[in-house]
Amino acid sequence: MHPLRKQRLKWVVLVVVASSIAVGLITFALRENINLFYTPIQIVDGEAPLDVRLRAGGMVVKGSVERADDSLFVAFLVTDGAETVRVEYTGILPDLFAEGEAIVATGVLDANRVLQATEVLAKHDETYMPPEVAEAMGQGHQRREANKQPSDGSYPAEQKEHRYDR
């Protein structure tokens, strides 16, 4: 092989290796910052991973908010219209947080499928709903309609039992 060709080949190999390392490092860094969104029905069905940072959203169930008297601990249920997930959060909730309103919580699912939230976001006015929450609510209503009891009084063949978290 000619020396000039050998030198070009070395440079090409060096560029390919350096590019591969750079792409690998960028992918690893981005993987740590990705927060995937899951609906309550996906969490209850086991689609959401445990001990991984994620986002969950839906409507806060009316009458489900429990506040500690001696700390900033708050627990509440979030629903997509089909299933509910318990969210536990320690901190100051947004001013617009209320029962029956849309929220998105960021945190980690524990072994009991309870979201240990590190951040809770609430909608900012009465007409806004986060796109993920709106889509989740629509899917939840579609699943509820599909699982409704037929008019003849019989039950669907695959009726799931309702599971409660804690």
Compute the mean pLDDT over every residue in the chain, rounded to the nearest whole number: 81
pTM of the model: 0.61
pLDDT tens for residues 119-133?
999 866 556 666 766
Indicate the burial class of 103 (C-beta count within 10 angstroms; 0-12, 13-18, 19 or more): buried
Residue 118 scores a pLDDT above 90: yes
| pLDDT confidence of residue 33 | 65
| pLDDT confidence of residue 109 | 92
Domain segments of the chain as ranges: 36-146
| pLDDT confidence of residue 131 | 73
Q: Which range has the worst mean pLDDT, 2-11, 27-36, 46-55?
A: 27-36
Residue 45 scores a pLDDT above 50: yes
Judge: domain 36-146, CATH 2.40.50.140: yes
| pLDDT confidence of residue 148 | 61
Q: What is the pLDDT averaged over residues 48-52? A: 86
